[in-house]
Amino acid sequence: MTSVNPEILRWARETAGLGIEDAAFKLDLKAARGIPGSIRLAAIEGGEKEPSRPLLLKMAKAYRRPLITFYLSAPPKKGERGQDFRTLPPEHSRRDDALVDALIRDVSARQEMVRALLEAEDEAVLLPFVGSMAMRDGAEAVLEAICTTLKLDLFKFRNGDPSDNVSPRKGFEYLRECAERAGIFVLLIGNLGSHHTNLDVEIFRGFALADPIAPFIVINDQDARTAWSFTLLHELAHIWLGQTGVSGEKADSAIEQFCNDVAGRFLLPALDVRGEVQALRSVQFEELVLHVNQIASERGVSSSMVAYKLLQQNAITRDIWTRLHSFFRQQWIQKRQAERDRDSEGGPNYYVVRRHRIGARLLSLTRRMVEAGSLAPSKAAKILGVKPSNVFGLFGDVTNRSPRTAA
């Protein structure tokens, strides 16, 4: 058997955000002959001892790497995220980075499988809008191109009646349906399969994989529902710019501010706010909070986005905006915790939740290919990000069929 390069072992552990002792514990590498597990692992990483195959299998699972990775001649070059558009908080950890990298690797692998499937079945179509625009074209032109291609309508986003409060869920589903109809896969993913790996929105809010055949957008569903539409439009701007990369909560870079501008111009046009400017210059903070919440509810967007738009329109100062942003974030954290407490008492049906996260386009394509015999249920499970035993349940087929008998 080909020997393993010890450098690969160290690289895999470190990029998983694990120290030597934490890794030994996760690998269940116990003391032997008086030598602690961490010392034994260090010796293996130092090339003093060859790792057994069972240990490599444990490493593949703990480090979230395919087994074949450990037989590479050298660590791969960094480039898993595409461009990194984020401005990260100073307290972010290596573990956070490792989780984001693992998520992007997983979705990229699923995207490659989808692209290969479309090409094999002669269904691959080059999407001309991917990379069709540039920042020099201006935010308004990019938004117009997106709206024209996806047939977006602000009136329909607001459920046909701008005088009523907008449902964030219905508004998002409208945008998602338009994007998927045009050929873009939109997924909701906020962790790596368990709440222990939940990704904070400051670390990852969304990312775009700007492939001309199978473009993917992933939105962190740990974020507030009212923010999903904004993130989707933000990532659509990246797709139109032809940029693969990951975005965070803060938008300090020029490209992130540009994509925010594109999203904001659709969800909250300048004219919507201009009438509010004069009235907001003299109100107290508590009254301002209530007013911003009212605008957000009426337009189907997050309160933080309304505050940001008011800052752009010079209706509030940066200090007030910072205070509002902090207030709304704390408000959201409390609401999120309350939702988790309710879910722990008995959440919604597994398959309902999974279908919503996967999206209609990916689910429909996968089901059609499985039923046509072009895709094995085991591969369908990898594309959908579920266990093989759950594939037919996702399809709504709960008869006697199983992945084993259907294959």
Whether residue 174 is contained in a domain is answered as: yes
Concatenating the DSSP letter of every residue in 192-247 gives SSSGGG---TTT-SEEEE--SSS-EEEE-TTS-HHHHHHHHHHHHHHHHTT--EEE
How far apart are alpha carbons 296 and 298 in whole angstroms? Answer: 6
| pLDDT tens track for 193-202 | 877 788 888 8
**116 shares a domain with 49:** no
User: Do 24 and 100 fall within a single domain?
Assistant: no
Assess whether 218 and 263 both reside in one domain.
Answer: yes
Per-residue pLDDT reduced to its tens digit, 276-291: 666 666 778 998 999 8
Decide if 339 is inside a domain: no
Q: Which of 202, 234, 267 is the last residue of a domain?
A: 267
Query: To which residue do tokens 């939940």 refer?
Result: 198
Q: What is the pLDDT of residue 318?
A: 87
Residue 163 confidence (pLDDT):
47
* Phi, psi for residue 364 in degrees, rounded to 5: -65, -45
Confidence class of residue 406 from pLDDT cuts 50, 70 and 90? very low
59, 26 contact by CB (below 8 A): no
**Residue that finishes a domain, picked among 241, 267, 293:** 267
Q: Does 88 reside within a domain?
A: no
Residue 70 shares a structural domain with residue 101: no
151 and 211 share one domain: yes
Two structure tokens written together for 350: 């597994």
**CB-based contacts of 134: which residues, under 8 Å, 6+ apart?**
241
**CA angle (101 as vertex; 99, 104 as ends), nearest 5:** 110
| pLDDT confidence band for 327 (50 / 70 / 90) | very high
Task: Tell me which residue of 377, 407, 375, 374 sits closest to 394, measured CA to CA.
Answer: 377
- Does residue 83 lie in a domain region? no
The 10s digit of each residue's pLDDT in 135-190 is: 999 999 999 999 999 999 988 888 754 445 567 788 899 999 999 999 999 999 99
Both tokens assigned to 295: 């605008």
What is the pTM assigned to this prediction?
0.78
**Number of structural domains in the chain:** 3
Q: Are residues 60 and 122 in the same domain?
A: no
- Label the pairing between strands 185-188 and 216-219: parallel
Sheet strand arrangement including 83-84: 83-84, 245-247, 206-209, 216-219, 185-188
Same domain? 32 vs 105: no
Question: What's the distance, CA 276 to chain centroid?
Answer: 33
**Euclidean distance between CA atoms 344 and 61, whole angstroms:** 27
For residue 187, what is the enclosing H or E element? strand 185-188
How many residues in the chain?
407
Residue 97, pLDDT score: 79
Give the bridge partners for 188, in sequence order. 219
- Tokens 């300048």 locate to 270
> 325 in a domain, yes or no?
no
Tell me which of 216, 233, 267 is where a domain ends: 267
pLDDT of residue 325: 86
Residue 227 lies inside a defined structural domain of this protein: yes
Whole-number Å distance between alpha carbons of 219 and 399: 32
The CA distances from residue 355 to 83, 236, 247, 331, in Å, are 29, 21, 24, 28
Tokens 């490209």: give the residue. 255
85 against 363, higher pLDDT: 363
- Tell me the three state secondary structure of residue 147: helix
Q: Which helix (H) or strand (E) holds 188?
A: strand 185-188
Task: Say if residue 73 is in the same domain as residue 188.
Answer: no
CA distances from 182 to 34, 141, 212, 213, 267 (A): 62, 19, 12, 11, 20
Q: What is the mean pLDDT of residues 302-318?
A: 85
Residues 260-281 have a mean pLDDT of: 77
CA distance 210 to 175: 18
Q: Report helix, strand or coil for 35.
A: strand
pLDDT single digits (tens) 84-140: 777 666 666 677 878 888 888 889 889 999 999 999 999 999 999 999 999 999 999
pLDDT in the model for residue 349: 84
Q: Specify if 294 maps to a domain.
A: no
> Does residue 185 share a domain with residue 114?
yes
| Mean predicted lDDT score pLDDT of the chain | 85
- Collapsing DSSP states into helix, strand and coil, what is residue 32? strand
Q: What are phi and psi of 315, to 5 degrees?
A: -80, -25
Whether 180 and 120 map to the same domain: the answer is yes
Query: Does residue 125 sit in the same domain as residue 183?
Result: yes
Tell the residue number behind the tokens 């923010």, with chain if given.
227
Task: Give the residue with greater pLDDT, 308 vs 403.
Answer: 308
Residue type, 394: L
pLDDT of res. 90: 65
Residue 274 lies in a domain: no
Residue-range definition of the domain harbouring residue 165: 94-267
CATH code (residue 51): 1.10.260.40
Q: Is the dihedral of CA 82, 86, 87, 88 positive or negative?
A: negative
Joined together, the tokens standing for residue 119 give 């090409």
Same-domain check for residues 119 and 54: no
Question: What pLDDT sits at residue 239?
Answer: 96
